């Protein structure tokens, strides 16, 4: 686990942009493409915007990047709550990514169980696997209660071991969502957590310094046995950490 603390969200996001460039370059050099799962939130908005600007933009071969999502709300893709919309407006519409490389979760479907099965199939096809796909990088935020993607405390989704994608109902608006499951998060080569603001400080402390209790703090469930976890935090989010870098 790598933990780095930055003075503010913008400094953190610049470091994250360089990290994404590095991981993308390594993945493309190793196996010819970069499989990248996106998230939502304010930190993601800053990061994705930076990636469209120099010096980062020209260091990424956008034609070899394939984009996925860690979770999505049950809203239309043009809704302000849509994680897809955030990524489209801040990054995807501004860089030369082939349309076929954008693998959107169809959270707006009325039959969310069918939508979750369809996304599972899309993952298997994109990764050419019948098993659990291994992302090059999964980008995650974390909520004040320790949730990641749309895996919330004390929910059955935390115990999932077989499915890749689940339709869930969470205790935060909008409740109906789709989410990647723990097996997918833990098959990643790299996971990047970006967390900002003082309202996350207690959860950051509990997840990193505390005893292992992922039912209470779902971010603790992310422990890829063959992968690397990087935490990037601003000073406010890290204010209660004991294990400071």
Whole-number Å distance between alpha carbons of 136 and 234: 24
What does the H/E/C string look like for 85-147? HHHHHHCHHHCCCCHHHECCCCCCCCCHHHHHHHHHHHHHHHHCCCCCCCCCEEEECCCCCCC
Q: Does a structural domain hold residue 177?
A: yes
Q: Does a structural domain hold residue 112?
A: yes
Q: Does a structural domain hold residue 244?
A: no
At residue 242, the pLDDT reads 87
At residue 110, the pLDDT reads 92
Q: Does a structural domain hold residue 190?
A: yes
At residue 243, the pLDDT reads 63
| DSSP strands (E only) in 42-144 | 65-69, 71-73, 137-140
The CA-atom distances, in angstroms, between 92 and each of 44, 66, 98, 101, 104 are 13, 11, 10, 10, 12
Question: Taking the model in full, what pTM does it have?
Answer: 0.97
In the block, tokens 């207690």 appear at: 202
DSSP 8-state assignment for residue 215: T
Q: Does a structural domain hold residue 193?
A: yes
Domain that holds residue 112: 2-234
Mean pLDDT, contiguous 10-residue spans, the chain (245 residues): 95 98 98 98 96 98 98 97 98 98 96 97 97 98 97 98 97 95 98 97 96 97 96 97 71
In this structure, what CATH number is given to the domain that contains residue 121?
3.40.50.1360
Q: Does a structural domain hold residue 241?
A: no
Q: Does a structural domain hold residue 240?
A: no
DSSP 8-state assignment for residue 210: S
Q: Does a structural domain hold residue 239?
A: no
Whether the Cβ atoms of residue 68 and residue 36 lie closer than 8 Å to each other: yes
Whole-number Å distance between alpha carbons of 97 and 219: 30
pLDDT in tens, 204-240: 999 999 999 999 999 999 999 999 999 999 999 999 9
Total structural domains within the chain: 1
């Amino acid at each position: 686990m790598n933990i780095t603390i930055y003075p503010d969200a913008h400094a953190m996001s610049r470091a994250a942009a360089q990290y994404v460039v590095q991981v993308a370059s390594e993945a493309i050099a190793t196996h010819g493409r970069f499989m990248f799962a996106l998230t939502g939130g304010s930190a993601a908005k800053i990061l994705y915007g930076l990636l469209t600007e120099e010096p980062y933009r020209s260091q990424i071969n956008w034609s070899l990047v394939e984009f996925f999502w860690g979770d999505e709300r049950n809203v239309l893709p043009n809704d302000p709550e849509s994680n897809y919309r955030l990524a489209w407006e801040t990054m995807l519409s501004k860089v030369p990514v082939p349309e076929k490389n954008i693998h959107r979760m169809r959270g707006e479907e009325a039959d969310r169980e069918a939508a979750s099965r369809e996304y599972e199939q899309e993952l298997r096809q994109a990764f050419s696997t019948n098993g659990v796909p291994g992302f090059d990088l999964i980008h995650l935020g974390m909520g004040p209660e320790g949730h990641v993607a749309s895996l919330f405390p004390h929910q059955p989704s935390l115990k999932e071991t077989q499915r890749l994608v689940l339709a869930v109902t969470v205790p935060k608006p909008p409740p109906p969502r789709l989410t990647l499951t723990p097996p997918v998060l833990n098959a990643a080569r790299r996971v990047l957590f970006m967390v900002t603001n003082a309202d996350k400080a207690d959860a950051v402390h509990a997840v990193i310094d505390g005893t292992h209790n992922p039912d209470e703090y779902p971010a603790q469930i992310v422990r890829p046995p063959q992968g690397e976890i990087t935490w990037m935090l601003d000073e406010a989010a890290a204010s209660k950490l004991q294990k400071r870098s």
